[in-house]
Structure 1
């Protein structure tokens, strides 16, 4: 790859198939761009609904059209158009997609994916690990398949340890159990992991909970893939990656993928391709329209004086939670930029006190260009839900965090932020204005602020080195490409 040699004239054609949520689309579309720049033909398969939203963002379609060998395709998700497709509808989304997508996906593989644009047949699949049917159909069609897990490697490993958690009595959770009790059976994390830090699905009171069975099935399926790709990095999660490697065929930690994409652009001479004809240099993959007025607002603020607040693309908030967070931010005394999605407040709109008081010290945006915001010198703290994409972007930017995790892998990620990487404060299981105020002040100017900033700057430097030519993520990408091509060649009659 580093030599710039391209393979578009050969039959290598990879289908990349994400689960239809923003947090899954973002890293997998980055991978599609990376592979296309590396010389492999790529088809990115989205849903109709998300495809339209993606291309409605200014410049995104033009940028993706400029990627050599990359084409976008979409299929229905089985839901009515007015379905909100949020976190509360996750079970409905999975059921509808499991019923609708498999025959369309099978047709795409059986036809080889070839159509009027002259693309060669699909010869390899990289599918989201949440798509249970993807590996069944690929095996049936004789097409090699790799899994992509969009959660942290640590969360993946915790899911793998669920049988042991049940065997040792950590799960199911009993009424009144001690959430701060250490968990010893998730190997590699014994010195810091507590019951409350396990992924939220582990908080069940029933070991036969359908969500637990679903996760166990996904984990068991991991051995059926040619390998598992993680948007993670050796330097960040080496303590669990070493254990995962003993359970799956091959692992490819190639993150942070947004940084790797930049490095591949440089190594292939693609930088500047987006510089003319109205094509922006931004690598946004947002399904939401970004409010760029927030960048002008940040320009007027002093260095490291602003708290950036975002809880991602699907986390819902109640009014009481919103008000506690709001008062905690206001009472901290710092300016803040807060992303409040139109669908975020589950029991009504933004309370009047928030709407009326935002001019005092805060800026509310429906969506923001997060990578640019985190890279702005005015931002001194990131109040986050600890979603994995957001965490990687915060690490890349070197911004210390206040973690308020909500669901799934966010709970274990926030513990890594505070106790392993030591680049932030974890306030999980609380939503109290006094706690929020104290945590923000601690990160911005408390006794440990200097240490957290130094640790964040160090991890940012390491992340940037890992994606450069010769770095661990770059080498893992080269190995992934070699193994994709090898799997195609070995499957060709």
Structure 2
């Protein structure tokens, strides 16, 4: 008698930060919509923050949520400065808890776990999966171009390109990242590249190690499309052959929701902050393409002086703006209150936005952004040009691609004085330059939308991922 095939059940484990959570939650919902059982594993801290923010997680029969401790004290911050600390704590403390979770008998009718999809910052989970005989896929949520640069760290060290040393010209083009030799400057590399003093720099070693480790998983998932990053994807495939380019995931998900007739009935959000939906009514009252939307993401922090320079530049530009200022964005919350008290009629400040809806709104003319990958993809799919001020990690490289490769915005990297802010806002919003950026952004949006339509490259990759998960699940020997 033929053996009965295992029911695919995917355990998805995101890194506990807003960007990875957004991205991997969308993949989880997609996999559940197409008929796979999915468990999303969050940390207890993330679960609590989702509850406090009134997040509306999708209620799908094949999707459930579990949580485990991250191993850090409850009162310890989980901000950008502790990114590696959180990852190392999770890598150290999750193995035993995760093993118990995978092996436990389900009381809600879910079959045993047959496959893991884990954030690439958690390589210990890849090892655990192999130990217990489960296939594991690694998922990195930044851009492919940044991941390719991270994979090149050993070569850059070997060739003496890194570390930079004192007094170097940061506008000099970097040699040693194939495909980017003509335009990637030292200035465009992440802060842990630029600040490394030697080959043993802990941040540089951590990023090189976890990125290389993705090649040890059964496959490597990227939230991108070859329309945007074909060169970087092909270089990554030279080192990690089983790579899936399945993005933009948020747009694929919207397409599936629409096909299921659940778009209006599914206002799902995995936001760690309470969203201010009233800003959408304010946008309704503004003329088309008249508003600068400003958001520096979930982890960026500003010095008081930086905040004031951005504010002054926005006000002096004469354009209306909608600005997201998180409560934890600056150390002096009183300064945010002072900004709000002096706010002109043209401006509106909120603590967090329903960003996809804001970017899709007809009133938004450009996006002043930190160039996080989720934000970049959301802006691209809506055809909104970007003014980039990157903060850290992949954002530095993303902003260079926006300005120099895709030509859909400007890069304000390393600059934040009011004169430059005003000048660049005007370039993005006024006259022939604004018209050129908007046309380029519309053309790029059309090309990316084709990649997620029937027959498009990203949709084909997503279908390949599903079939490979089913195939891997069938091969698992369950106890």
TM-score by length of 2: 0.95
Question: Counterpart in 1 of 2:147?
Answer: 156
User: Deviation per CA, 1:143-186, whole angstroms, max 9, x where unpaired?
Assistant: 00001101100110000111221233321021110111111211
Whether 1:357 and 2:348 are equivalent positions in the alignment is: no
Q: Select the residue among 328, 350, 353 that pairs with 1:343.
A: 328
Question: Counterpart in 2 of 1:287?
Answer: 272
Whether 1:474 and 2:459 are equivalent positions in the alignment is: yes
- Do 2:6 and 2:476's aligned partners in 1 also have CA atoms closer than 8 Å? no
- Do 1:158 and 1:199's aligned partners in 2 also have CA atoms closer than 8 Å? no
Question: Counterpart in 2 of 1:4?
Answer: none
Q: Select the residue among 206, 210, 217 that pairs with 1:218.
A: 210
User: Deviation per CA, 1:427-482, whole angstroms, max 9, x where unpaired?
Assistant: 11111111111111111115422221111001111222221222111110100011
Distance in 1 between the 2:149 and 2:407 partners? 20
Question: Counterpart in 2 of 1:6?
Answer: none
Whether 1:263 and 2:259 are equivalent positions in the alignment is: no
Moved more, 114-123 or 84-93: 84-93
Q: Select the residue among 18, 22, 37 that pairs with 2:18.
A: 22
Question: Counterpart in 2 of 1:143?
Answer: 134
Question: Gaps spanning 5+ residues in structure 2: where?
Answer: none
Question: 3-state SS of the aligned residue for 1:368?
Answer: coil
Question: Counterpart in 2 of 1:107?
Answer: 100
Q: Select the residue among 170, 173, 179 that pairs with 1:182.
A: 173
Question: Counterpart in 2 of 1:95?
Answer: 88
Distance in 1 between the 2:218 and 2:306 partners? 44
Question: 3-state SS of the aligned residue for 1:363?
Answer: strand
Question: Counterpart in 2 of 1:39?
Answer: 35
User: Deviation per CA, 1:355-404, whole angstroms, max 9, x where unpaired?
Assistant: 22214321000001000000111100100000000000010111001000
Question: Counterpart in 1 of 2:387?
Answer: 402
Q: Select the residue among 46, 53, 74 that pairs with 1:50.
A: 46
Shift of 1:426: 0.2
Q: 1:331 to 1:384 in 2, by over 3 A?
A: same
Question: Counterpart in 2 of 1:439?
Answer: 424
Root-mean-square deviation (CA, aligned residues, Å) is 1.6
TM-score by length of 1: 0.93
User: Deviation per CA, 1:12-49, whole angstroms, max 9, x where unpaired?
Assistant: 10000001101110000000000001111000001122
Shift of 1:102: 1.7
Shift of 1:81: 2.8
Question: Counterpart in 2 of 1:167?
Answer: 158
Q: 1:70 to 1:331 in 2, by over 3 A?
A: same
- Do 1:307 and 1:336's aligned partners in 2 also have CA atoms closer than 8 Å? yes
- Do 2:150 and 2:211's aligned partners in 1 also have CA atoms closer than 8 Å? yes
Q: Select the residue among 439, 450, 464 that pairs with 1:454.
A: 439
Whether 1:234 and 2:255 are equivalent positions in the alignment is: no
Shift of 1:11: 1.6
Q: 1:57 to 1:469 in 2, by over 3 A?
A: farther
Q: 1:51 to 1:413 in 2, by over 3 A?
A: same
- Do 2:40 and 2:65's aligned partners in 1 also have CA atoms closer than 8 Å? yes
Moved more, 445-454 or 412-421: 445-454
Q: Select the residue among 284, 292, 296 that pairs with 2:281.
A: 296
- Do 1:319 and 1:348's aligned partners in 2 also have CA atoms closer than 8 Å? no
Shift of 1:194: 0.8
Q: 1:430 to 1:446 in 2, by over 3 A?
A: farther
Distance in 1 between the 2:145 and 2:315 partners? 34
Question: 3-state SS of the aligned residue for 1:360?
Answer: coil
- Do 2:320 and 2:347's aligned partners in 1 also have CA atoms closer than 8 Å? yes
- Do 2:39 and 2:66's aligned partners in 1 also have CA atoms closer than 8 Å? yes
Shift of 1:121: 0.5
Whether 1:372 and 2:357 are equivalent positions in the alignment is: yes
Moved more, 209-218 or 163-172: 163-172
Question: 3-state SS of the aligned residue for 2:238?
Answer: coil
Question: Gaps spanning 5+ residues in structure 1: where?
Answer: 1-8
- Do 2:72 and 2:86's aligned partners in 1 also have CA atoms closer than 8 Å? yes
Question: Counterpart in 2 of 1:5?
Answer: none
Distance in 1 between the 2:333 and 2:154 partners? 40
Question: Counterpart in 2 of 1:79?
Answer: 72
Q: 1:59 to 1:26 in 2, by over 3 A?
A: closer
Question: 3-state SS of the aligned residue for 2:334?
Answer: coil
- Do 1:189 and 1:239's aligned partners in 2 also have CA atoms closer than 8 Å? no
Distance in 2 between the 1:47 and 1:353 partners? 35
Shift of 1:189: 1.1
Distance in 2 between the 1:173 and 1:205 partners? 8
Distance in 2 between the 1:346 and 1:193 partners? 33
Moved more, 35-44 or 181-190: 181-190
